[in-house]
Amino acid sequence: MALLKFTTYTAFTLSLTGLALYRKHLVSALLCLEGLMISLFTTLATISQTLATATTMTQPIIMLTLSACEAGAGLGILVASSRTHASDHMKNLNLLKC
């Protein structure tokens, strides 16, 4: 159990560090967000198995559903920005421009 906790904590901190430091491309930001969601899903699944109550059993499923929605929205933004700006560089994307 200690190895699983260490692995999920490490994955979360590495993904958060990657999201904070390396934001040059939109794809790398989306991959870091997916790493965050996977580590949170693993943590919630582990907690729900150890507690074994009815209220904690649905939390990993809800988290997985939100992660899939986030991935779909992120890929949609990636395709739209690639078509309009011809790249996925974050500095080219300015949301205040019309």
Q: Which pLDDT belongs to residue 98?
A: 53
SS3 category, 95: coil
H-helix segments, 25-58: 26-51
Question: Of residues 89 and 73, which shows the higher confidence score?
Answer: 73
pLDDT tens column, 23-81: 788 888 888 989 999 999 888 888 888 887 777 778 888 888 888 898 899 888 888 88
- Distances from the Cα of 5 to the Cαs of 44, 47, 79, 87, 96, in angstroms? 11, 10, 35, 38, 41
**Domains parsed from the chain with CATH numbers:** 2-92 (1.10.287.3510)
Whether 88 has a pLDDT exceeding 60, the answer reads yes
pLDDT band at 86 (very low <50, low <70, confident <90, very high): confident
Q: What are phi and psi of 25, to 5 degrees?
A: -115, 150
Q: 21-59 in b/e burial notation, b at 16+ Cβ within 10 A?
A: eeeeebeebbebbebbbbbbbbbbbeebeeeeeeeeeee
* Nearest residue to 28 via CA among 92, 88, 97: 88
